């Protein structure tokens, strides 16, 4: 049967060594095996292909026939390719080389991911990063089916087989133009949105989360615009279209349109979202481990606090 592996790599290496050394004993010494093992390998390969591949001469050793030389060349190419595949496979697990595919559902990921990735890429020229904007479902699906290596996502239901760790708790806040009365007051309640014009970040998790907050509080704003883009929401707010309820904030106070914005903390504190990192259960590639270590270190540092809006004097919960 064609699929049977009747000729092992060990047999192929012994045959190739014999043709290269022109001697069974020389091949045996190079491979650290008994001469009989090399002789047996030649016999088995000749039997498999049904032809004489080497001529034996007690005084002069062995010499490959024309067919034997052609087969030796093919075997050498095969073994070289096998060795290359094995080296690349080990490199995937042991070095920061190849592609690192990161899926993220974090509307302000550009505020922190480049800062985390740049030192890793500078230290590992062989590392190539593929960043993909996702929602929670597509991020987890991409991880499970192998299209992604690691994901960052805003909590929610976690699929079986994915290991997660919490990075940051992110409470909601109201985004307003910098000269809005709520911005000047410096704090707000959810009731301040009752009857107000609202622009809604309509992403799968974020949109449902905001609607649930409003419904639970009995608040009925006028939803005048929706967008799946955080920066579009920020620009709409900056233009005076309405207010917005968001969680994470970027590390800038102006919109793409150049308008100055204010993040107004909500009181009393309301249930927020949790930014999480996820990977498949089991032993990850080294690139994934190193990346997650860098993510963990960044979110344990002071920069992460800039992504969260809290009341003045409020302490961030311990991570």
Closest CA to 278 of 142, 121, 170: 142
pTM above threshold 0.85: no
Among 247, 66, 226, smallest CA distance to 154 is for 247
pLDDT in tens, 116-174: 999 999 988 888 999 999 888 899 999 998 899 999 998 778 999 999 999 999 999 99
CB 255, CB 234: distance < 8 Å: yes
Confidence class of residue 269 from pLDDT cuts 50, 70 and 90?
confident
Q: How far is CA 197 from CA 58, 164, 176, 242, in A?
A: 98, 37, 11, 5
C-alpha to C-alpha distance for 267 and 310, rounded to whole angstroms: 9
Cβ atoms 156, 126 nearer than 8 A: no
Q: How far apart are CA 187 and CA 311, in angstroms?
A: 7
pLDDT at residue number 317: 43
Please name which of 26, 23, 83 lies closest in space to residue 58, comparing C-alpha atoms. 23
Q: Express each pLDDT in 206-250 by its tens digit.
A: 899 999 999 999 999 999 999 999 999 999 999 999 999 999 999
Which of 234, 278, 314 minimizes the C-alpha distance to 102? 278
With cut-offs at 50, 70 and 90, classify the pLDDT of residue 24. very high
DSSP element (H, E) containing 170: strand 162-170
Query: For residues 123, 127, 130 and 135, what is the CA-based torsion angle, rounded to 10 degrees?
Result: -70
Q: Which of 121, 93, 110 is nearest to 294 (CA)?
A: 121
Residue range 287-311, pLDDT digits in tens: 899 999 999 999 999 999 999 998 7
What was the pLDDT predicted at 214? 95
Q: Which two tokens stand for residue 237?
A: 């707010």
pLDDT at 5: 57
pLDDT in tens, 65-98: 999 988 988 898 888 888 777 766 665 555 577 8
Percent of the residues in the chain that have a pLDDT greater than 70, as a whole number: 92
Contact 171, 248 (CB under 8 A): no
The per-residue pLDDT for 123 is 87
For residue 3, name the pLDDT band (cuts at 50, 70, 90): very low
């Amino acid at each position: 049967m064609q699929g049977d592996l009747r000729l092992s790599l060990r047999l192929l290496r012994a045959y190739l060594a014999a043709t290269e050394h022109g001697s069974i004993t020389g091949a045996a010494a190079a491979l650290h095996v008994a001469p009989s093992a090399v002789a047996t390998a030649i016999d088995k390969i000749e039997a498999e292909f049904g032809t004489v591949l080497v001529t034996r001469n007690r005084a002069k050793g062995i010499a490959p026939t024309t067919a034997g030389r052609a087969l030796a060349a093919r075997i050498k190419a095969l073994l070289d390719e096998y060795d290359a595949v094995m080296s690349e496979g080990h490199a995937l697990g042991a070095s920061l080389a190849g592609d690192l595919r990161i899926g993220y559902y974090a509307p302000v990921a550009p505020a922190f991911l480049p800062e985390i990735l740049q030192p890793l890429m500078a230290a590992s020229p062989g590392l190539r990063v593929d960043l993909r904007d996702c929602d929670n479902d597509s991020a987890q699906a991409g991880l499970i089916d192998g299209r992604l290596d690691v994901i960052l996502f805003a909590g929610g239901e976690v699929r079986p087989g994915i290991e997660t760790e919490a990075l940051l708790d992110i409470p909601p806040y109201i985004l307003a133009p910098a000269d809005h009365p709520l911005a000047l007051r410096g704090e707000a309640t959810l009731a301040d949105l009752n009857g107000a014009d609202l622009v809604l970040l309509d992403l799968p998790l974020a949109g449902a989360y905001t609607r649930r907050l409003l419904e639970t509080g009995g608040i009925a704003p006028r939803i005048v615009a929706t967008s799946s883009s955080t920066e579009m929401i920020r620009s709409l707010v900056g233009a005076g279209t309405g207010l917005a309820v968001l969680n994470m904030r970027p590390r800038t106070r102006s919109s793409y349109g150049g308008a100055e914005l204010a993040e107004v903390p909500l009181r009393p504190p309301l249930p927020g979202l949790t930014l999480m990192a996820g990977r498949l259960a089991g032993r990850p590639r080294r690139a994934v481990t190193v990346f997650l270590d860098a993510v963990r270190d960044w979110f344990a540092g002071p920069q992460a606090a800039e992504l969260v809006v809290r009341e003045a004097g409020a302490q961030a919960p311990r991570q």
